[in-house]
Amino acid sequence: MNTDIAIIGGSGFIGTNLSNCLDDDEINYTIYDIVEPKKNQNYKYLDVVKPETFDQIDGSKCIINLAAEHKDNVLPVSKYDDVNVRGAKNVCDAATKFGINTIIFTSSVAVYGFTEPNTDENGDINYFNDYGRTKFLAEEIYNEWLQEDTKNRTLIIIRPTVVFGEENRGNVYNLLNQISSNKFLMIGNGKNIKSMAYVKNVAAFIKFSLNFKKGKHLYNYIDKPDINMRSLVSISRDMILNKKGVGISVPGFIGVIVGKVFDFISLIFNKDLPISSIRIKKFLSTSQFSSATESIGFAPPYSLKEGLKRTIKNEFFQKNNENNCS
C-alpha cells in the first residue's frame, strides 16, 4: 500500500502502537503532534487548536485523528471543547483545503454514557461527562464534512472502549499497579462487566480500516469475550502476586464516599489523584458493548487475556522491545 497518512496525535499511546503497526507493512506516514514521539520517526509539530499549523499536512491522502483531551476532571472544562471539538473542525477544514478525502477518527464509547449491556453502534447517545459530550460533537462535525461530498469522501469513526496495554498509565494500569503494590481494595461485589480493548488490537483495526470503501463507517471496538471486575482482579492478582481471589473488599457505597473525600483533597491541593469519585463510579458500573467488527472479517492479533498477560509481563516483570502488531 502506498498511502501517505497524517497521524495527528500520533505521539500518544494509541499512536505509538499504530505507527509500529504501520511499519510492519512499510506504510508511509507522518506523525503530527505537539510532543515529539519517543522513537526516531517522521515527525512534524502540529497543534489541533492552531489552524495555522495544519499547512504541512498538504499532500497527505488520509488523516487519522487521535488527538484528544481525555483525562477525568480536566480544568477548565473548555479544554475538552478546544481540543476535541475545535480540533475536529480544524481537521475538517484542513482536509477540505488540501483535498484529503479520507478521515479516520477515534471517538469513544463514552458517547453512550451509562447504557444498557451490549450496546452496539446503534445505541442511544447519552453521554454523562464532558469527554463523551465533546467526542460526540466532534463526530457531528466529521459527519457534516462527509455530507459535503459523499461521492468522494470516506469517514471512519471508531469508538473504542477502555484501551489498555504496555506503557499506558490509564485506569487499567492504575488498577494493576495497586494490585502489584498490595494497595488494592476491592470495591463492590465485582459482578459488573467491563468491555476492554488491547491497544495492539485497536492499532491493527485502524490499519485494517485503511482499506474501507468510500462513505461512512462506524464501529465500536471491543475485544471479546467481556470480563467482570471480579474475574479481572482475580486473574491479575494471580499473575502478579500469585495469590487467588480478590483479597479484601468493601461495599460500593463506601467506595463512593471515599472517592468524594479524594475529590475534595484534589480540589484543595490542585492535584490529580489516582482515586476520585468518577473513577470509582466507573469501576462499579457495567460498561458492556458489542461491535460489528467481526462481521467485516477483522480478527484481532491477540485475545483479551493475552493482551492482559503481555501488559503485566511488560510493566511488572520485565521490559520488552516488542512494539509491532504481531
Q: Please, what's the b/e burial string for 8-44 (b: 16 or more CB within 10 A of its CB; e: otherwise)?
A: bbbbbbbbbbbbbbbeeeebebbbbbeeebeeebebe
Of the candidates 255, 233, 257, 256, the one whose C-alpha atom is nearest the C-alpha of residue 245 is 233
Using alpha carbons only, give the angle 194, 199, 202 rounded to the nearest 5 degrees.
90
User: What is the grid cell recorded at 216?
Assistant: 461512512
Strands of the 5-8 sheet, one edge to the other = 43-45, 29-33, 5-8, 62-65, 102-106, 154-160, 215-221
Side-chain half-sphere exposure of 313, counting CA atoms within 13 A = 9
Query: Does 131 qualify as catalytic in the annotation?
Result: yes
Contact between residue 175 and residue 206 where contact means Cβ atoms under 8 Å apart: no
User: What is the grid cell recorded at 200?
Assistant: 495492539
Residue 112 has phi, psi (to 5 degrees) of -85, -20
Give me the residue label for grid cell 487519522. 64
Query: Which of 43, 112, 131, 142 does the annotation list as catalytic?
Result: 131
The amino acid at residue 229 is M
The Cα 158–Cα 109 span in angstroms is: 9
Give me the residue label for grid cell 467491563. 194
Give me the residue label for grid cell 487521535. 66
H helix or E strand, kind and range, residue 288: none
The set of catalytic residues is 131
